[in-house]
Chains A and B, each alone.
Chain A
Amino acid sequence: MFDLLLEGAPLYFSPASVLLTVLGIIGGLVIGVLPGLGPLMGIVLLLPVAFHLEPIPAMAMLIAVYVGGSAGGSISAILLRIPGTPLAAATLFDGYPLAQKGRSQDAIGLSITASSLGGLVAGIVLIFFSPVLADFALNFAPPEYAAMALLGLLTIAVVSEGSAIKGMLAGGLGLAVATVGTDEFTQAYRYTFGTINLTSGPNLVAVVVGLFALSELFVQIEGGNFRDRPQIQKLRISFRAFRLIVNHRWNVVRSALLGTGLGAIPGAGGDVSAFVSYAVARRLASEEEAYGEGAEGGVVATEAANNGTCGGALIPTLSLGIPGDASTAVLLGALFLLGFFPGPELFQYHADVAGGIFLAYLASNVVLIVLGIVLVPFFGTVLKVPKAWLLPLVLLLSTMGTYALQNSVFDLWVMLAFGGIGYVLRKAHYPLAPIIIGMILGPVLENNFRRALLLSRDGPMIFLERPISATILAIAAVMLVYVTITTVRPRKRS
């Protein structure tokens, strides 16, 4: 376990990686603070930049944005009662009341320290569990990969926000997009419409930027209020939170572990884990801690959990190649495009890269605690940036970044097209993450399925004869039945 960290150390501890971690945390916090953006948007906008960097500094930057962005969302939740990201939705239950009592300083301090410590706890779990899981996955062959990809697709579609049916339809769209390109077995072109630009499918980064960044832009433009500047309290740097958090140490550990566990289940995601750990903390709390009226424990529980989820989501991403949520799906795509295949091979042949990524995650959380506190006054200023400045910047970054990928105007059309698709789907309340996951897992599923059939002497029986693939398929079947029942039967709402 520690061998991995030792092997990764020379790769990670370079000026570039450390600097990019620091910049990534700052960028992540800023983008997390801004309502409507969030860690995924941060990763999406920086993805094109990442391809011009070495793999480890690139991943360090993206992971830092992921960590910083997940933590940053709480600040606007506390100050404005607008969660910067859905991850921070539960933070406003107690964060905002705490700020109303004139303790916004403490609320932000607690949320940053809890996020950081929650992330560190998750980091330790990540370092222990990923290699174990990856080691187990060494027994995987095409049937298991096909089964795992199917399970990953189903879980993410099912658990994603919105209805399960819409999630699955969005996943199906991703699968359809994934069929465009060159057939791996016969080298035949599929749906390329005679253009060479589509022979390896639409560029994943262009799709991601269009789907998430551009569609968000359209939605924000539609929302208007381009010149609004919120009124917020004046903020100072304060280290009091370091003292306060000690009172909540068990809450931090418990919430972080809950977050990590839920994060490791593909599709569960940070918003779910934040609400779950908030509910648990509330139940365990004493009478005098008035949850919902500004309890410190409420902020700690949600923030430790949602950052813990980031570490948790990295576990299946790195060890199995199955992303835990939309952000990790994009991180997974980045790792693919940087030339590394997440999964057992990553730990076996590129232990240094795996170790470097772990270190990047740990370091991000350490940097977060320092910068998060020091930069508090700055976030107050960031929150006052009106949309009229912000939206053109997002458009500029999206366009430049996507074009710079391979100097291709075609990629810009792809971005624009998926921006439109993303906008329409958002309007119809379809989740977008399953599309990306479908695009990433589609080829894994298809090619391993066909390969398994070639390897088989007995048609599809190969999937049932092998215990691991049979088990995974059984889980998928149970899940499908469960979803069908819950969808068909009218839901009771409490």
Chain B
Amino acid sequence: MTLTSRLVAAALGLAALAGPALADFPERNIESIYPWAPGATMAASQVIADAMGDELGVNISVVSTPGAGGVKAFETALSRDADGYTLFDGYVAPLVIQPMKGNADWTYQDFTPLWSATSNSFAIAVRADDDRFDDLSDLIAYMKENPGDLRYSPGVAGGIPHMVGAATLMATDTVAQLVPYPEIDVAVRDMRGGILDFMVTNPGVYNVNKADMKVLAVLSDMEDASATYGGAPLVGAFDIDIGMANLSPSGWNWWLVRKDTPEDVVTTLRNAMEAALNRDDVRQRLLDMGYVPTGFSPDQYEEIVGAVAGELEHGQKAIEWETEKLNGL
């Protein structure tokens, strides 16, 4: 190759690279970095990604990047360019809990919010044919008489389902053996097999395993949470105050981009996500899967996420209380 032809080749190469930057966003497919292993919950993110992709005219793929309680996914997304082609599926664990525990060096203020996506409440469920417990009072009475005798799983240890479960146990001064599972889907198998007595489930898992489980109480104070568990009673109906209210005892996600993403790109993404979440078919599909579209706008981010962060401290304390109790058995 002569020097001239090399220069021409280099110039052509540069032109090809410069092309996309000048064009309208989005030019190519977008990735949404999802922080858990594939499962029932990922399907909800997929519904939103598909609808949002339709609005933008490109494909948005949900990329499962599990590890380190969601931190891996955030780190992965942070390592990408701030060009709007990588979205954070900002679940509360990597967004709020992990920084709170000192496992991540960001705060929720370090991201630019698009829209809030969904929320889902958690519930205490037993085997469908377990006739020891007709309702939550039976379960609590049993645990009071036989402390530490029952075995339960909230899925991953230290997550929100665990916080909510531990908060319920703390509020009723009861204790059961904690058995963590990497994915709550797997715990269902062992509850069905009789080796676990109860679990803290999410609506996605409940929907898939309805026939095998009986929901004793929904751990939320929001009326519409009951509907996602076939009308099961709220924990308040048993005169129990778990010390966490509104969004804080539930799982939720807020889609985000990197802070330094260009403003016009953010606007395009926000508009597309808003339009996607307002579609009736999208809302219905999410509700059918047990996920309530929350629809908080970007300007409510600070107020809502900030408030939740404070309340989660209570859940953290409940876990510490539980650990002490279990160690003392």
**In this complex, what residue of A is CB-closest to B190?**
A141
A302-315 CB mask vs B (1 if < 8 Å, else 0) is: 00000000000000
A284 on interface, CB distance cutoff 8 Å: no
CA gap between A185 and B208 in the complex, in Å? 25
**Closest Cβ of chain A: how far from B86's Cβ, in Å?**
10
**Closest Cβ of chain B: how far from A217's Cβ, in Å?**
28
Q: Which of A182, A447, A455 contacts B67 (CB 8 A)?
A: A182
Within 8 A of B (CB), among A167-221: 181-182, 184-187, 189, 196, 199-200
Complex contacts, B37 vs chain A, CB 8 Å: 339
Within 8 A of A (CB), among B149-181: 151, 156-158, 177-181
Complex contacts, A455 vs chain B, CB 8 Å: 151, 177, 179, 190, 195-196
B63-91 CB mask vs A (1 if < 8 Å, else 0) is: 01111110110011000000000000000
A335-364 CB mask vs B (1 if < 8 Å, else 0) is: 000010100110001000000000000000
Complex contacts, A494 vs chain B, CB 8 Å: none
CA gap between A140 and B157 in the complex, in Å? 22
B69 and A339 contact, CB distance less than 8 A: no
**Closest Cβ of chain A: how far from B88's Cβ, in Å?**
15
**Closest Cβ of chain B: how far from A23's Cβ, in Å?**
23
B72 and A451 contact, CB distance less than 8 A: no
A339 and B38 contact, CB distance less than 8 A: yes
**In this complex, what residue of A is CB-closest to B209?**
A349
A390-414 CB mask vs B (1 if < 8 Å, else 0) is: 0000000000000000100000000
B236 on interface, CB distance cutoff 8 Å: no
B13 on interface, CB distance cutoff 8 Å: no
A96-140 CB mask vs B (1 if < 8 Å, else 0) is: 000000000000000000000000000000000000000000111
B151 and A196 contact, CB distance less than 8 A: no
A165 on interface, CB distance cutoff 8 Å: no
How many residues on B have C-beta within 8 angstroms of the other chain's C-beta atoms? 33
- Taking A187-B157, A200-B67 as contacts, is the C-beta distance between A142 and B75 under 8 angstroms? no
B19 on interface, CB distance cutoff 8 Å: no
CA gap between A199 and B42 in the complex, in Å? 21
B306 on interface, CB distance cutoff 8 Å: no
- Taking A142-B190, A406-B76 as contacts, is the C-beta distance between A189 and B68 under 8 angstroms? yes
B189 on interface, CB distance cutoff 8 Å: yes
**Closest Cβ of chain B: how far from A438's Cβ, in Å?**
19
Residue from A140, A189, A455 having most chain B Cβ neighbours under 10 A: A455
B57 on interface, CB distance cutoff 8 Å: no
Complex contacts, A232 vs chain B, CB 8 Å: none
CA gap between A9 and B181 in the complex, in Å? 33
CA gap between A182 and B101 in the complex, in Å? 15
Complex contacts, A349 vs chain B, CB 8 Å: 208
Q: Which of A139, A181, A200, A451 contacts B193 (CB 8 A)?
A: A139
CA gap between A186 and B101 in the complex, in Å? 12
B66 and A200 contact, CB distance less than 8 A: yes
A6 on interface, CB distance cutoff 8 Å: no
**In this complex, what residue of A is CB-closest to B65?**
A406
**In this complex, what residue of A is CB-closest to B196?**
A455
Complex contacts, B72 vs chain A, CB 8 Å: 196, 199-200
A184 and B180 contact, CB distance less than 8 A: yes
B252-282 CB mask vs A (1 if < 8 Å, else 0) is: 0000000000000000000000000000000
**Closest Cβ of chain B: how far from A414's Cβ, in Å?**
15
A141 and B67 contact, CB distance less than 8 A: no
A181 and B38 contact, CB distance less than 8 A: no
How many residues on A have C-beta within 8 angstroms of the other chain's C-beta atoms? 25
A454 on interface, CB distance cutoff 8 Å: yes
Within 8 A of B (CB), among A411-460: 447, 451, 454-455
Complex contacts, B103 vs chain A, CB 8 Å: 187
Q: Which of B65, B68, B193, B208 contacts A187 (CB 8 A)?
A: B68
Complex contacts, A138 vs chain B, CB 8 Å: 193
Complex contacts, B182 vs chain A, CB 8 Å: 184, 447
- Taking A141-B193, A184-B182, A451-B179 as contacts, is the C-beta distance between A199 and B157 under 8 angstroms? no
CA gap between A141 and B157 in the complex, in Å? 19
B190 and A199 contact, CB distance less than 8 A: no
A199 and B180 contact, CB distance less than 8 A: no
Within 8 A of A (CB), among B193-250: 193, 195-196, 208
Q: Which of A142, A185, A344 contacts B157 (CB 8 A)?
A: A185
CA gap between A185 and B159 in the complex, in Å? 11
Complex contacts, B181 vs chain A, CB 8 Å: 451
Q: Which of A182, A339, A454 contacts B68 (CB 8 A)?
A: A182
Complex contacts, A447 vs chain B, CB 8 Å: 182
A199 and B189 contact, CB distance less than 8 A: no
Complex contacts, A182 vs chain B, CB 8 Å: 67-69
A454 and B190 contact, CB distance less than 8 A: no
**Closest Cβ of chain A: how far from B83's Cβ, in Å?**
14
CA gap between A65 and B276 in the complex, in Å? 40
Complex contacts, B151 vs chain A, CB 8 Å: 454-455
A196 and B75 contact, CB distance less than 8 A: yes
Complex contacts, B185 vs chain A, CB 8 Å: 345
Complex contacts, B39 vs chain A, CB 8 Å: 339
Complex contacts, B38 vs chain A, CB 8 Å: 339
CA gap between A455 and B180 in the complex, in Å? 10
- Taking A185-B157, A406-B76, A454-B179 as contacts, is the C-beta distance between A199 and B71 under 8 angstroms? yes
CA gap between A387 and B66 in the complex, in Å? 40
**Closest Cβ of chain A: how far from B162's Cβ, in Å?**
11
Complex contacts, B208 vs chain A, CB 8 Å: 349
**In this complex, what residue of A is CB-closest to B151?**
A455
CA gap between A345 and B183 in the complex, in Å? 13
Complex contacts, A189 vs chain B, CB 8 Å: 68
Complex contacts, A451 vs chain B, CB 8 Å: 179-181
**In this complex, what residue of B is CB-closest to A52?**
B61
Complex contacts, A186 vs chain B, CB 8 Å: 157
**Closest Cβ of chain A: how far from B237's Cβ, in Å?**
31
Residue from A186, A199, A339 having most chain B Cβ neighbours under 10 A: A199
Complex contacts, B69 vs chain A, CB 8 Å: 182, 187
**In this complex, what residue of B is CB-closest to A344?**
B189
Residue from A189, A196, A349, A447 having most chain B Cβ neighbours under 10 A: A196
- Taking A139-B193, A142-B190 as contacts, is the C-beta distance between A199 and B67 under 8 angstroms? yes
Within 8 A of B (CB), among A213-235: none
B68 and A141 contact, CB distance less than 8 A: no
Provide 17 A-B residue pairs closer than 8 Å at the C-beta atoms, listed in order of the A residue.
A139-B193, A142-B190, A184-B182, A187-B68, A189-B68, A199-B68, A199-B71, A200-B68, A339-B42, A341-B186, A406-B65, A406-B76, A447-B182, A451-B179, A451-B181, A454-B180, A455-B195
| Known contacts A200-B72, A451-B179, then 18 further A-B pairs from the complex at CB < 8 Å, ordered by chain A residue | A138-B193, A140-B193, A141-B190, A181-B67, A184-B156, A184-B182, A186-B157, A189-B68, A196-B68, A199-B67, A200-B68, A339-B39, A339-B64, A345-B185, A345-B189, A447-B182, A454-B151, A454-B179
Which 5 pairs across A and B sit closest by C-beta, in order of nearness?
A200-B67, A339-B38, A199-B68, A196-B75, A141-B195
